[in-house]
Amino acid sequence: MIADDDILKARTLPSSFYLDHSHFNWGQKELFRKSWHWVGLMPSEVQVQPTNILDGYLDMPILLARAENQQVRAFANVCTHRASLLCKEAGQAREIICPYHGRRFNLDGHFLHMPGFRKVPDFPESRDNLQQLDCKTWNDFYFVANQSDINFTDWMQPVYDRMSFLSFDAMIPDTNGFTSYELQAHWALYVDNYLEGFHIPFVHPALNSSLDVKAYEQHIFPYGTLQIGIGGTDTMCFDLPETSPDFGKRVAAYYFWLFPNVMLNFYPWGLSVNLVEPLKPAITRIRYETYVLHADLQDQGAGGNLNKVESEDQAIVEGVQKGIASGFYHQGRFSPDHEIGVHHFHRLLAKKLKL
């Protein structure tokens, strides 16, 4: 069976999943449109901040707006008159004003005024207010969703439970670490690769020397996974408090994956956010954001040369894409020792797809 609950019986998703446009389009309509999406920080002095969720795939224009009571809400960045984009740049504002015909909204998203509509009966209606989306915060980082079927707290709880000891308020964005790459492969193949440490000794020699791969840990949650990289004798590791469930271990890295495409990688120096963004069935954008807690540790340990690790991952994943497309591969089996994360991911996708 495809992604049987028993990993010993299960088979991977078929090659058609990674090749067929129908599955890719399904992901656009049914998976990513209903998922939680990382937005990131919103500076305290900013009242409006636009972003485009999954640019080139979903193209969901979103606007974060901070009202007078300091509450931040998320709205569709689309005017309810003729669908013009409302806001193009982050900044200060008392109102949201459409640049097309001057329709005005307050920062709570409510309609205020529209010239030329005095004769229109039953106007304004509730539909003339901006469409509001779900908006949640985690340590000042914002996430938005359009009717997600996953509870945000359930989605994020494993990260809350494990990483609360960190001083998130002291983390500083490192714009040098805000970058993106494009690779010639299906987005789910990149996730498959991320979700197992099986390949580390073969693909990442430098990273392998920093980790004790035999002590590598994997944990499964309803909507994600955690991989714990245990450091070697000379590797920079976390100074864990006694309250940590990992106290006494030499943890060099925490690798969290949140279904379907958010990756939060914690190192002693801080946080590397890894966002997997589909573009086409065989083209994916990988977007990185970096938040630093200890700049003097950035070149050390498991998180010391992320660009090299990324290039090694991309090369192997692009090779897998070619193998998938060759016609010589249909399905594989899972290693119960090393691929429980990949199995979990395939089960979630199979249930969504009803395979």
Q: Are 133 and 64 in contact (CB under 8 A)?
A: no
Give me 291's structure tokens.
């938040």
> In the numeric block, which tokens belong to residue 284?
């994916």
Q: What is the pLDDT of residues 49-65, one digit of tens each?
A: 999 999 999 999 999 99
Over range 172-176, report the average pLDDT: 93
Q: State the residue for tokens 């070619």.
A: 322
What is the percentage of the chain residues whose pLDDT exceeds 90? 90
pLDDT at 230 over 80: yes
Whether the pLDDT of residue 314 is over 60: the answer is yes
Q: How many CB atoms lie within 10 A of CB 216?
A: 17
Q: How confident is the model at residue 132 (pLDDT cuts 50, 70, 90)?
A: very high
User: pLDDT by residue (tens digit) across 101-111?
Assistant: 999 999 999 99
Q: Is the pLDDT of residue 344 over 90?
A: yes
* Residue in 263, 118, 70, 351 with CA at minimum distance from that of residue 343: 351
Residue 1 above 60 pLDDT? no
pLDDT of residue 284: 98
List phi, psi (to 5°) of 277: -125, 110
CA atoms within 13 A on the CB side of 113: 5
Please write the tens of the pLDDT for every residue from 265-274: 999 999 999 9
What's the mean per-residue pLDDT of the chain? 95
Highest mean pLDDT among 25-39, 153-167, 300-314: 153-167
Task: In whole angstroms, give the CA distance from residue 298 to residue 146.
Answer: 36
Q: Are 41 and 140 spatial neighbours (Cβ–Cβ below 8 Å)?
A: yes
Q: Which domains does the chain have, with CATH numbers?
A: 15-31+152-353 (3.90.380.10), 37-145 (2.102.10.10)
Burial class (CB in 10 A: 0-12, 13-18, 19+), 124: middle
Mean pLDDT calculated for residue range 224-232: 96
Question: Where does the pLDDT of residue 2 fall: very low under 50, low under 70, confident under 90, or very high at 90 and above?
Answer: low
Cβ burial of 351 (10 Å; 0-12, 13-18, 19+) is exposed
Tell me, what's the pLDDT at 328? 97
Q: Are 226 and 201 in contact (CB under 8 A)?
A: no
pLDDT value at residue 355: 67
pLDDT at 228 over 60: yes
> Quick one: average pLDDT of 181-196?
97
